[in-house]
Structure 1
């Protein structure tokens, strides 16, 4: 290269283009930047557009000269919903087009030109619970198997299902990596992490990432010590003003994440259960979260009219700020891994209604192992909702 100057390590991060994965990966990228590493974040063009509209990723990372964003298409049309059970279509499409697009990117960019070619180390990052396929039993928790209850990750009607086979293949490939970075921590999952270390000794549990990053920013007296947004949706700050007017520990925060879909019947069962509980609640209801004919679905205005006395409906919120607010006393969640860790870190008792993927496993651990919440399993009944909120 004509110089003896040693360049810092360069990390390429390629998250699954879904909000939960990108959210934690951006935190990991910022931690790497704070350690003076160069980072290239590879995003799909679609997710990059969503982040630019609602999270201002360029401004967030502008103070890190070693950070850059590269994009590739995900192969899906712009109007693809990218939510619910159809999220697996993102993975399958990337498998078709991603490899060729990635190679094309590497041929036309200097993103990793100084990385050393084929000798680069490959470190996998997982949100932890996706790796439970590698664990058949866990010492120290009574032989409870993480994958005994039906889950769309662990059980399918056809073992040759392409999505299922992809998950198995990628999980097995993880053992071939130079190391594994997990958004978890020893005090929470020590026995499970010990099991994963058997096939993958170089395991680094650095979670919860959101508290880790916040502590690092505060230690450096950063002007941006609060956690920046990584949202695909516009955050409604009016929710914080509403919380300011509520008594301490009086509000149930309700959010089912960025990809969960509700039927009209499920929506009404939750609504009646929450209203009948008599407790105040802040409910995040994404504009794309209801399936079916929109003409048959109750709109937010109708629901708001019926919840004026004790409920507040919003499209999206800054979740960590909400969970840290003194008015919030519990968390009704879909049990996504990020939300589960954020709820635990905030000391929130949780009511869990898992939707798919690793969420059924997460909710089971919340209720049966860590004993910090209640698991609704796959039930959706107003009487059960009311009873659990009152508990």
Structure 2
């Protein structure tokens, strides 16, 4: 059989790189060759001769901030300038591999640049999209199978709001392109999103639900990280009582105004619990105010945290999060109740599932008021019902990734076999 050589191509953002690093680690364990296009995690690359890192230019200068406000520009440059360099590299890797690293030709590509949202074309057909910016956000959305009873306009991706949003049209176009793929690989578990998987499957040639990847295939904490985590916060947590701390992190892209920051701060202080707050380097102007307002004994503010370790720590009682998918999965696996304040993209939908389907936390979308922050943080910290739901989901997810009987573990093995068959067919056809 021809050697299977997988090219893993993440979108160049922190959350995407995190997920793909765990995926590449899993492929290594299965005996495949998975090089990954990117600059980070050189330490992991040095530890394995079968993991090779390469990069392609995205069309922006090295010192460009690549902020969320530039997202459409970044996407367009990746589609034009970046794709040219990518195709040149891919062509060389498919034809000859990488002789200098001893890699065989590439036989399979796993890319996350085109994310299918398979219901969006149908929502256009039904007239559910686009809806006006001033429309009723609590209007039910009826066109998504399995979600008729709980989905509202405000739960759709943020780019759905307002007619003429270019991002909405782009996602609609990308959905058609995604259906041409040989398979769709999802970092989820059947126990979390069974109805959604059942809806997706008939629209794709094959679907693999192989998550949560970070639990199945742990990678070094620093691998893929754009910022250095402040490990000192772990010692601060060590001296605090069990389930007494609110951990707050809004991820790698969320932008908050000074007014929103002030509401969060006053709400956290009023809730009365110690809190660990991640304020990225680009938010660092607020650090002194946060520490002064709360006092050193009640607050710890860091530019970046070792999130997996924090969520596993006994002192953490709840997680105030942007509801990015990585953060949502990481909290779910650890059974930590969440308060969700989504910013954009998939986060609106994720937060609705947390509050309205899994019941593992509270959905605070579209609100940034100190009284609401205080009330929801207290409820997440103190509700036995929410904690029980969170812990029940955590137990199920651990069963899902168990090697002997887990559905995600079995799906990953099926994926490995699928990739090997692709490699053999390429060798047989000379493609």
- Is the shorter-chain TM-score for this pair beyond 0.5, marking a shared fold? yes
Distance 1:333 1:112 in 2: 44
Say whether residues 1:28 and 2:23 are aligned partners. Answer: yes
Say whether residues 1:15 and 2:3 are aligned partners. Answer: no
Contact 1:130/1:358, CA 8 A, preserved across alignment: no
Contact 1:20/1:258, CA 8 A, preserved across alignment: yes
Distance 1:129 1:102, change over 3 A: closer
Contact 1:281/1:310, CA 8 A, preserved across alignment: yes
Distance 1:154 1:198 in 2: 25
Say whether residues 1:316 and 2:309 are aligned partners. Answer: no
Contact 2:362/2:376, CA 8 A, preserved across alignment: yes
Counterpart of 1:219 in structure 2 is none
CA-to-aligned-CA distance 1:184-210 (integer Å, 9 cap, x gap): 000111111010001114100000011
Gaps of 5+ in 1: 1-5, 52-56, 215-224, 291-297
Distance 1:187 1:323, change over 3 A: same
Within a 5 Å distance, the mapping from 1:1-391 to structure 2 comes to 6-43=1-38, 48=39, 51=40, 57-106=41-90, 109-110=92-93, 113=96, 123=110, 125=112, 133=120, 136-139=143-146, 143-145=149-151, 149-158=155-164, 161=166, 163-214=167-218, 227-289=221-283, 299-307=286-294, 308-391=296-379
Q: How much does 1:123 deviate?
A: 4.9
Q: How much does 1:375 deviate?
A: 0.8
Distance 1:276 1:257, change over 3 A: same
Distance 2:233 2:345 in 1: 29
Distance 1:372 1:87 in 2: 31
| TM-score, normalised via structure 1 length | 0.83
Q: How much does 1:157 deviate?
A: 2.5
Distance 1:17 1:265, change over 3 A: same
Q: How much does 1:25 deviate?
A: 0.7
- SS in structure 1 opposite 2:155? coil
Q: How much does 1:97 deviate?
A: 0.4
Distance 1:110 1:186, change over 3 A: closer
Contact 1:184/1:207, CA 8 A, preserved across alignment: yes
Contact 2:8/2:109, CA 8 A, preserved across alignment: no
CA-to-aligned-CA distance 1:72-118 (integer Å, 9 cap, x gap): 111112332222332333212101201211133245x546625779x
Distance 2:63 2:194 in 1: 42
Distance 1:347 1:112 in 2: 46
Q: How much does 1:128 deviate?
A: 7.9
- SS in structure 2 opposite 1:326? coil
Q: How much does 1:59 deviate?
A: 1.8
- SS in structure 1 opposite 2:282? coil
Distance 1:123 1:302, change over 3 A: closer
- SS in structure 2 opposite 1:374? strand
Gaps of 5+ in 2: 98-103, 123-142, 380-431
Q: CA RMSD in A?
A: 2.5
Distance 1:148 1:301, change over 3 A: closer
- SS in structure 2 opposite 1:39? coil
Distance 1:112 1:315 in 2: 44
Normalized per residue, the structure richer in helix is 2
Distance 1:21 1:226, change over 3 A: closer
Contact 1:250/1:329, CA 8 A, preserved across alignment: yes
| TM-score, normalised via structure 2 length | 0.76
Distance 1:378 1:134 in 2: 25
Distance 1:42 1:112, change over 3 A: farther
Q: Which moved more, 1:281-290 or 1:313-322?
A: 281-290
- SS in structure 2 opposite 1:67? coil
